[in-house]
Structure formats: C-alpha cells, structure tokens
Amino acid sequence: MVMVVEPLPDELGKAHAGRIAYLNALPGLGKLLHRTLGPAKEHLKRNEFRQQFHYLATRLAIEPERYLAQHSMLPFLYAYSGRKNTGQMYMPLIRKWLKQADSPILQYVRSCPHCIQEQEANMGLSWWIRKHQLPGVDVCLEHKVPLIQVENQDALLRTPGFFLANSLFSTKSAPAWDHPTVSRYHEFASWLLSQPSRLHPEKLERCIKTQCGGLDIAMDIKKHVQHSSLSLYVRSAFPVDWLTTHYPVLIGENYQGREVGIDAAFRGQGATGQVIAMILASLFESPTHLLSKIEESPVHLPRLSSRRLPSIARAQLRSQEAFVQVYIQANGQANRIAALLNCQNEVIYRRLTQYGLPAMRRSKSQHRAQILKRLKDATPVELQEWGKAMQAHWQQYGKGNFQLNLSIYASLLGVI
C-alpha cells in the first residue's frame, strides 16, 4: 500500500500527490494514480474517481469537499456558480460537470523565494502552495516579490526549494503589480480562493447591478450602447501593462466596447474566476466592502410559492384568461412572464404546464406570431380546450422540444 502523508497548509493538491509519489519512490503522478486507482481503462475518462484527490482525501479521512476547498484551485477557477446555478459545493463540479481538480493551471508551477526560506526554516522543507498559482497574480502576496516559475514536468515531485537552490527556474515579469486596481485584484483573487463554498449567484449579481447602476455603467448587452459597458469600465480601471499580459482581448484591435467574457459574465454559464476577480476589483474597494454591500442590498426571499406574491400577480396566475394575457404580452417567454409578474421562473413553468401553454424562446420561433394572434381573439372555452389538448399530448408523448410543442399547439389552434 502507498504511504500517504497529510497535506501541508495551502498545499496544492497535485503537489501533495507529487510529494506522496516522491516519498513512495514512484517516478511520477501517473504512476501514483495507477498504483492507487488501478489502470485507466477501468475508469470512465475524467471521472471523479480517476482524480487523485479522492483517494488521498479518503485515506486521510478528510472530507473530499473540504480537501477541494483547501487544496484545489476550484474555489478560484469556479468561484461563481452562474445563472444556471451549478450549486455552491465543489464536489458536484467534479462529479456532475467533469471539472479537473487542478490541471488547467498546471503547465507550470510558481513559488516565492522568501516563502521557500520561511517554509524551510519552520518545517524543514518547502512546498507548492495555491496562493502562488493564481492567474493574474505575479507577485507573492505576502512578500511582494515576483514569483519564480518552474516549467518541468516533474516539478510537483520535488520541493520548490530544490529548483531555487539549483537555479532551475525563471522569473517572470510582474506588470504593474503595485497599481491600486491590480492590488485589489490580488486581494479579491486570494479571497475567492479561500472561500469554503462558491458565491451565491443572486446575491452577487444584485450587488454588482446596484454598484453598476450607481456608477452609470450600462449592463444591458442587448442595447447597442457603445460608450458604456462593464468591460469598458474594467478596461479603464486596469493598467495597460497588466491587461497586455493577462487579458489582452480588452486592448486588442477587435475590441469595440463589448467583450463577451466580461459583459456576459452574469449570463448563462457564468464567468471564470479571473473575470469575476477583475470585475470585483474594478467595482469594489475590498472584499469587506463587497460583503457590506451584499448585506445592504435588500433581502430577496425565494418566491417559490405564489402565496407570497402581490394580489394582482396572484390573480393573474390564478385565472387562465388573465394568465394568457400576460403570456401574449411576454411573447410566450417564461422569464419575461416571471419578470412581469415579479415571481420566479419555476412558478411560471408550473402555470404553463397547468394551462397547457407551450413556452417560447427569445429567438424568433416559428408559428409564434400566429399563435399569439389567435390567442388574442380566443374565448375562455377555446383556451380551456386547447390547454387540455396540449396537456393530453404531453401526457402521451412527454414534453419534447419546444419547436415541436409550438407546431402542435399551432395546429390545435388551427393556425397552420
């Protein structure tokens, strides 16, 4: 059996594995993986159980979730769980979303000469820590000196002190590291890395929105406003040198005032940790400032139950006829109905099913115009009949895709 040792403070998980491989006289991380988890063919590709951390955490009786929070880069890389809310925990990222615990940043590893000396003085050895691996952070946050970088495939099997002592490293430039925005970026990046769970999307978004409103930053990416956007604001907050190295697209020739990574950061799947840290560093003084703003913003209770809704909205939800009016007004889009009635999308989806109405997409759907036009002139009896027929269809064939639902509904209405 492989001898396993405890991880050191803030030790990078892969480096912890590397240290264990070295102590067991194994020639590499691959060999350790093979020895502890068996040959690769027995596992699904990128399955969580093929990742080393799981075995090590289990052997050491550390909760895998805690191991990931304290020894992987996930808390930084996937700090924001996105509008599709992929949850606040780290384990499901691996299990469900097939994220690698560490590899995206491991083309090289970095360390700080002063930290190495301190580690050696205190513990008798040096080790690779996570804080030195943060993208966009080029100096040691404690000692404010440029990090040393090792590009050696066996780097993780040895201590950073070994590479320092043998001059087997390069020192990268640290552009504008003492610029105020860059310093704030450092603070936010290490704050994100230290989070025991991922940021809640609603709280974060509301806070960003309020802050952007106060600073007159246009956040609506659908409107063609070129002189104001979040990315323009971020670009003006960061020094050119730093952007050239870490986010060149903002100063590239093709940049026209919109950049999808930043301007659509709070849509769909959400942004990378680096983008989140860049936005936060541009808008807020410090993590403490951000947290105070989060607390200040109005508490928004989840409105899963229609009982908590204002009476008008409640009435519009309760009557099929009234609901259809809102449906027409919102072009059949669930999220727009939800916005009009000030309730959550889920409530709307339940009503759509209940009334036998197909949800429509934002993009131009076939038959939409005809359906909406016919609904306008419909009698309550017709609405009920169509709704029942649609439900009967769903019951028999399942919900299927939205385009198909629309054509079936259109034929029920007799418009095609």
> Which residues bind to Zn ion, rule: CB under 5 A?
112, 114-115, 140, 142-143
Min separation Cβ 116 and Zn ion, Å: 8
Q: Which is nearer to Zn ion, 146 or 261 (CB)?
A: 146
Nearer to Zn ion, 46 or 114 (CB): 114
Least CB distance to Zn ion at residue 52 (A): 27
| C-alpha torsion 121→127→128→130, nearest 10 | -70
Min separation Cβ 186 and Zn ion, Å: 13
Query: Cβ of residue 125: shortest distance to Zn ion, in angstroms?
Result: 16
Q: Using an 8 Å Cβ cutoff, are 183 and 175 in contact?
A: no
Residue closer to Zn ion, measured from CB, 133 or 231 = 133
Give the shortest CB-120-to-Zn ion separation in angstroms. 12
Residue 115 or 313: the one with the smaller Cβ distance to Zn ion is 115
Name the residue nearer to Zn ion (CB basis): 142 or 321.
142
Closer residue to Zn ion in complex, CB, 111/211: 111
Q: Which is nearer to Zn ion, 29 or 115 (CB)?
A: 115
Q: Which is nearer to Zn ion, 126 or 231 (CB)?
A: 126
Q: Shortest approach of Zn ion to residue 143 CB, angstroms?
A: 4
Structure tokens at 359: 């949800």
- What is the smallest separation between the CB atom of 253 and Zn ion, expressed in angstroms? 37
Shorter beta-carbon distance to Zn ion: residue 101 or 193: 193
Query: Which tokens belong to 362?
Result: 């934002």
Least distance in angstroms from the C-beta of 187 to Zn ion: 16
How far apart are CB 241 and Zn ion at their closest, in Å? Answer: 22
105: tokens are 């940043």
